């Protein structure tokens, strides 16, 4: 591995294990993320997503395995390392009495010493408020924000130190569809604009599909799939269902995706006009995901 290559790897996890008492909640989790990538850790409740992200954030000690986050072991990360991370949780309701701008300014103050000639830290509060759409709420006490506004503030706080790596744990849990959609646009835009690497956990496939460059599916403490949304659909259940009728009789055939077009062409060449009601269904990402996790319903879910 060359130096250049390792500089580019922001997250490097190998053989991560976590055990509570006698129960393993993470077995041999391994994955990597490169600079600028948006990664979704997708899985049903109790799969170990939050445990994984808390270990990477340095909030929880692991049982075994090698973990490198921005080149350091999170269990021993110092303040300088901490300054390069941004963290967005779903359950924050802190600083309710503070005003929006006041808190952003204040927390930004912790990052001032980490500014460099090329990287301005903290981020400009006005710019940040505008980016998350809270300019009008700048002087409001935080406890009076709506749920969606509060979460957007949490994202702004996560970004205030201009992090190289942003963690988002179930960022849209409890959102209505419109708020969720708006939030997805925001995160995507910020990831692009600030070229921040992001790792988010979600149990919502649609969210992972929309936001992530790459999806890791975690089930019962194991990574069961890793790839782009398109990869996953192909890799896991890459077959198409083809249905048709001929002379009033119904037929169905499952084919490899790569062979589907050829199969349909062959069908017409052989039977011509006799073929009717042709229907070809490509396995969706959702099918792939359900196929992976359906065998394993959550057992004694751990958060």
Q: Which residues of this protein are in contact with other proteins, per CB under 8 A?
A: 50-51, 53-54, 57, 59-60, 79-80, 82-83, 85, 87, 89-98, 102, 106-107, 109-114, 157, 161, 169, 303
Q: Which is nearer to other proteins, 50 or 283 (CB)?
A: 50
Q: Is the dihedral of CA 174, 214, 294, 25 positive or negative?
A: negative
- CA–CA–CA angle 110, 114, 117 (5° rounding): 140
What is the four-CA torsion angle of 156, 158, 161, 164, rounded to 10 degrees? -120
Burial 199-222 (b: 16+ CB within 10 A, else e): bbbbbbbebbbbbbebbbbbbbbb
Q: Which is nearer to other proteins, 94 or 297 (CB)?
A: 94
Q: Which is nearer to other proteins, 272 or 300 (CB)?
A: 300
Min CB(63)–other proteins separation in Å: 15
Min CB(55)–other proteins separation in Å: 10
Q: Which is nearer to other proteins, 86 or 229 (CB)?
A: 86
Q: Which is nearer to other proteins, 154 or 209 (CB)?
A: 154
Side-chain half-sphere of 132: how many Cα atoms within 13 Å? 27
Min CB(224)–other proteins separation in Å: 22
Min CB(50)–other proteins separation in Å: 5
Beta pairing partners, 225: 217
Min CB(248)–other proteins separation in Å: 58
Distance CA 57, CA 179 (A): 26
Residue whose C-alpha is closest to residue 52's, from 37, 31, 34: 31
Distance CA 232, CA 100 (A): 41
Min CB(143)–other proteins separation in Å: 10
Min CB(97)–other proteins separation in Å: 5
Q: Which is nearer to other proteins, 106 or 144 (CB)?
A: 106
Residue whose C-alpha is closest to residue 158's, from 111, 212, 210: 111
Q: Which is nearer to other proteins, 31 or 111 (CB)?
A: 111
Residue whose C-alpha is closest to residue 127's, from 190, 172, 184, 188: 190
List the structure tokens of 287: 């099918």
List the structure tokens of 37: 């990538």
Q: Which is nearer to other proteins, 69 or 225 (CB)?
A: 69
Min CB(46)–other proteins separation in Å: 12
Burial 113-123 (b: 16+ CB within 10 A, else e): ebeeeeeebbb
């Amino acid at each position: 591995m060359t130096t250049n290559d390792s500089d580019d790897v922001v997250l490097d996890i190998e053989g991560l294990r976590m055990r509570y008492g006698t129960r393993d909640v993470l077995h041999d989790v391994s994955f990597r993320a490169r600079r600028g990538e948006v990664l979704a850790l997708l899985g049903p409740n109790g799969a170990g997503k939050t445990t994984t992200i808390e270990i990477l954030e340095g909030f929880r000690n692991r049982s075994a395995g090698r973990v490198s986050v921005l080149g350091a072991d999170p269990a021993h990360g110092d303040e300088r390392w901490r300054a390069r991370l941004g963290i967005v949780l779903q359950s924050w309701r802190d600083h309710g009495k503070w005003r929006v701008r006041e808190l952003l300014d204040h927390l930004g103050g912790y990052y001032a010493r980490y500014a460099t000639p090329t990287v301005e830290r903290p981020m400009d509060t006005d710019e940040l408020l505008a980016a998350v759409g809270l300019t009008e709420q700048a002087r409001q006490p935080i406890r009076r924000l709506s749920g969606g506004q509060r979460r957007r503030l949490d994202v702004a706080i996560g970004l205030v130190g201009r992090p190289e790596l942003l963690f988002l744990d179930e960022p849209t849990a409890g959102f209505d569809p419109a708020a969720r959609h708006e939030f997805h646009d925001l995160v995507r835009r910020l990831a692009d604009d600030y070229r921040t690497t992001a790792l988010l956990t979600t149990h919502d496939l649609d969210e992972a599909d929309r936001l992530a460059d790459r999806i890791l599916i975690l089930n019962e403490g194991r990574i069961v799939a890793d790839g782009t949304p398109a990869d996953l659909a192909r890799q896991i259940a890459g077959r198409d269902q083809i249905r048709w009728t001929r002379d009033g009789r119904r037929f169905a055939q499952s084919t490899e995706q790569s062979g589907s077009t050829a199969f349909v062409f062959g069908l017409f060449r052989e039977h011509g006009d006799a073929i009717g009601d042709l229907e070809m269904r490509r396995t969706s990402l959702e099918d792939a995901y359900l196929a992976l996790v359906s065998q394993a319903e959550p057992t004694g879910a751990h958060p």
